[in-house]
């Protein structure tokens, strides 16, 4: 018998097997994301700081100049945050409100809310320095929110919402800036050791979320901290004659290398957490790559200024220093940063698109 006679049959069999492996009939599609809950710092704070006694506020112009009705909501940007764009793309709601906003009703909690606090971090010392909400306090507000949801829709529906919700943890930048780069503590602790300390806090928080029923968790990595306008300014102050700071602006490669090291450690931690917390997805939401791409290839995104903020001189102003009377740039959509620390709405939309393409499919 001709041995080649079996080849087409074998080929057809393997093709069928391959298709079955790629499309297993019994694999049910993941249920849609029910809500988005955010914890951390100003990158995901929709205005909780408006309701606590702190100087770290942005509920005044020029913040919000690109927001609907030019509303200064307490978001540290000219408009929406990445979490707002994600929520609207997922069909949850147009923006994620701040938990402490008195207009937020218990029923609103079922589709998502932010517990984050600008100026906060993974390290409790960071929140103490800025009189903002530490992660423990944010957690206690989440527990309170769960009780409110249960009072509205009952235990099983609340548990279903939590199980299928997306939880975003975005913190770490303030910790590095306050406690390592611009603080005496930085002389006493190695960057790598401090990373490990922060990541132990991430691990504990993810464990808490898992114990509360969360199964889809995205942990945001560090941005290129050395390219934040304030860090560029401070780095330049120490190394150049003053008049040149307006001309000669370059990122701190050391600080960027630190961010990359942290992000690699975060990926390793997430891998371990996924092994341990069976049934959970713990993913790294990379903001370093999209921000760096915007800095290196601004014209691809219609950007013109990447190392100065739109508010004031763009070198140092943020929060209380970015004031209603501060001059602002003519066209904020051409700016990567709105103030000296925080991305513009345009940059946040790019980050959200990057997350939708690279992280959401894995959830």
User: Which residues are designated catalytic?
Assistant: 42, 339, 342
Q: What is the rounded distance in angstroms from the CA atom of residue 165 to the CA atom of residue 210?
A: 12
Q: What is the rounded distance in angstroms from the CA atom of residue 290 to the CA atom of residue 351?
A: 6
Contact criterion met (CB below 8 Å) for 119 and 42: yes
Tokens (6 digits) for 135 = 């992660």
Tokens (6 digits) for 212 = 């509360």
Nearest CA to 195 out of 252, 134, 259 is that of 259
Tokens (6 digits) for 70 = 């030019």
Sheet holding 216-220, edge to edge: 112-114, 36-40, 166-170, 216-220, 281-285
Contact criterion met (CB below 8 Å) for 45 and 348: no
Contact criterion met (CB below 8 Å) for 328 and 311: yes
Q: Any idea which residue has 């087409």 for tokens?
A: 8
DSSP-derived secondary structure for 137-190: HHHHHHHHHHHHHHHHH-HHHHHHHHHHSEEEEE--HHHHIIIIISSGGGGTS-
Q: What is the rounded distance in angstroms from the CA atom of residue 258 to the CA atom of residue 228?
A: 14
CA 7-12-14 angle, 5° bins: 95
Tokens (6 digits) for 351 = 């980050």
Q: What is the rounded distance in angstroms from the CA atom of residue 307 to the CA atom of residue 231?
A: 10
Q: How far is CA 29 from CA 32, 111, 221, 267, 361, in A?
A: 9, 20, 28, 25, 11
Report the relative pairing of strands 335-337 and 305-309 from DSSP bridges: parallel
With b meaning 16 or more CB within 10 Å and e meaning fewer, what string describes 178-201?
Answer: bbbbeeeebeeeebeebbeebbeb
Q: Any idea which residue has 């409100």 for tokens?
A: 97
């Amino acid at each position: 018998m001709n041995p080649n006679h079996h080849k087409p049959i074998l080929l057809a069999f393997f093709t069928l097997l391959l298709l079955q492996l790629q499309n297993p009939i019994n694999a049910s599609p993941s249920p849609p994301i029910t809500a988005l809950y955010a914890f951390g710092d100003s990158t995901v704070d929709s205005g909780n700081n408006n309701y606590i006694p702190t100087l770290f506020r942005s509920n005044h112009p020029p913040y919000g100049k690109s927001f609907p009705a030019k509303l200064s909501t307490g978001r540290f940007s000219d408009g929406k945050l990445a979490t707002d764009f994600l929520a609207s793309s997922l069909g949850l709601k147009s923006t994620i409100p701040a938990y402490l906003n008195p207009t937020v009703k218990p029923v609103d909690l079922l589709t998502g809310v932010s517990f984050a606090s600008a100026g906060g971090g993974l390290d409790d010392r960071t929140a103490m320095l800025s009189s903002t909400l530490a992660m423990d306090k944010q957690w206690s507000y989440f527990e309170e929110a769960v009780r409110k949801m249960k009072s509205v829709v009952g235990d099983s529906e609340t548990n279903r919402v939590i199980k299928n919700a997306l939880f975003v943890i975005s913190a770490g930048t303030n910790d590095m800036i306050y406690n390592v780069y611009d603080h005496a503590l930085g002389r006493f602790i190695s960057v790598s050791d401090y990373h490990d300390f922060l990541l132990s806090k991430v691990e504990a928080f993810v464990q808490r979320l898992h114990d509360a029923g969360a199964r889809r968790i995205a942990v945001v990595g560090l941005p290129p901290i050395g390219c934040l306008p304030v860090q560029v300014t401070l780095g330049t102050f120490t190394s150049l004659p003053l008049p040149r700071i307006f001309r000669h602006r370059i990122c701190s490669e050391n600080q960027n290398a630190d961010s990359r090291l942290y992000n690699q450690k975060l990926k390793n931690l997430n891998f371990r957490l996924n092994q341990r917390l069976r049934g959970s997805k713990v993913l790294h939401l990379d903001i370093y790559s999209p921000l760096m791409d915007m800095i290196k290839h601004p014209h691809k995104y219609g950007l013109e200024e990447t190392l100065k903020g739109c508010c004031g001189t763009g070198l140092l102003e943020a929060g209380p220093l970015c004031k209603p009377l501060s001059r602002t740039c003519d066209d904020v959509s051409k700016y990567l940063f709105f103030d000296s620390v925080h991305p513009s709405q345009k940059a946040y939309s790019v980050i959200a698109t990057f997350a939708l393409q690279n992280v959401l499919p894995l959830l």
